[in-house]
Amino acid sequence: MSFRIRQSYRDDVEQVLAVAEYLDTVNLPADRAHIEAILDRSERSFAEEFPPAEREFLFVLEDLTAKKIIGTSMIYAQHGTRRAPHIFFRVETDERYSVTLDKHMVHQTLRIGYNYNGPTEIGGLILLPEYRRSAATGGEGLGKALSFVRFLFMRMHRAWFRDNVLSELLPPLETDGTSKLWEALGRKFTGLTYQEADLLSKDNKEFIHALFPDDPIHTELLSDDVRSVIGQVGTETKAVEAMLRRIGFDYAGQIDPFDGGPHFCAATDKISVVHDAQELAVRTIAQPEGKWAVLATELTGQRPRFRAISARVEVVDGAVGLTAEACTRLGVEDGQKVWLTSG
């Protein structure tokens, strides 16, 4: 098998929709109209038709042998603007002491928060299950490559992105895809189902500001099973959490107001995948014996313009050694420069 990551185009709609149907998330909902809008905005963002803060980039992973899209990942250049603020629950504590009882109590609270000048956000990471850790992938680390390509792209276009990066992780959800926290809080404040609110919030967050309480909510008032999911990471997201922590992210003390999933943040320039990225000339060699890396380039006048691969490389004398096959996938020749990072 042979794989390549590239920028998305409007005519990817059928295949991206098929990938979206696997998870049906707010970033990549299994809805044709939304997918068409996402692809239109992505193509125009890669073409620099929007101001940097309004750009949203969707990357697709292709199985070149099967000629199909098997995964996606996304960057929102700025998540949190005056038009669409970044909304979250701050997880705080309320301390109380009674002299009469000589009792000190520490209560967990949730307070709604808004950010109108927000960070860059990463999301939309989906890889079809048959391509995860499969021998058929040749050990390329496809999920890791889909994640790392976003940070490499940020380094290539650093001025387009904010000084902090946010990742909202999925918590444990019910088998039907609903959230215990939403059923206990959000549904009672809005009258909407989790799916209705999740989809509506992608384009319109006014209802959250209008209907959610501004005062802190004491979580003691919630049942134990609801409290147990606050700030927790779902089983299928544990590997993502470990990867984020490894490259510089940490829990921000904030959760998603819909499902209680934790928010992880990092300073952009301190993320190892960004900080360690470098631009080197290509040199074709027979068998690189160095490290695994993600490599990317932009080829003016070609389609796709942005393309990336993961491969084993060997860095020698200021050049990066690649096999001829890897060069073909990337579309480069000896002497051309590419960006690479291994995290």
Question: How do residues 176-220 score in pLDDT, each as one tens digit?
Answer: 878 999 999 999 999 999 888 877 887 788 899 899 999 999 999
Q: Give the residue among 287, 223, 219 at the shortest CA–CA distance from 255.
A: 219
Q: 138 falls in which pLDDT band (50, 70, 90)?
A: very low
Burial of 78 (0-12, 13-18, 19+ CB in 10 A): buried
Torsion angles phi and psi, residue 292, rounded to 5: -75, 140
3-class DSSP assignment, residue 199: helix
Taking the model in full, what pTM does it have?
0.92
Lowest mean pLDDT among 79-88, 164-173, 213-222: 79-88
Q: What is the pLDDT of residues 5-43, one digit of tens each?
A: 999 999 999 999 999 998 777 788 888 999 999 999 999
Residue 243 near residue 144 (C-beta atoms within 8 A): yes
Please say if the pLDDT value at position 137 is more than 70. no
Q: What is the pLDDT of residue 133?
A: 66
Residue that the structure tokens 């949203």 belong to = 56
Q: What is the pLDDT of residue 140?
A: 56
Q: What is the pLDDT of residue 175?
A: 84
What domains appear along the chain, each with residue ranges and CATH number? 3-79+119-180+230-274 (3.40.630.30), 276-341 (2.40.40.20)
What length is written for the chain? 343
3-class DSSP assignment, residue 272: helix
3-class DSSP assignment, residue 184: helix
Q: What is the pLDDT of residues 84-94, one digit of tens each?
A: 889 999 999 99
3-class DSSP assignment, residue 89: strand
Residue 316 near residue 274 (C-beta atoms within 8 A): no
* Helix boundaries (H) for 182-271: 187-190, 194-203, 206-211, 224-227, 238-247
Structure token digits, residue 111: 């307070």
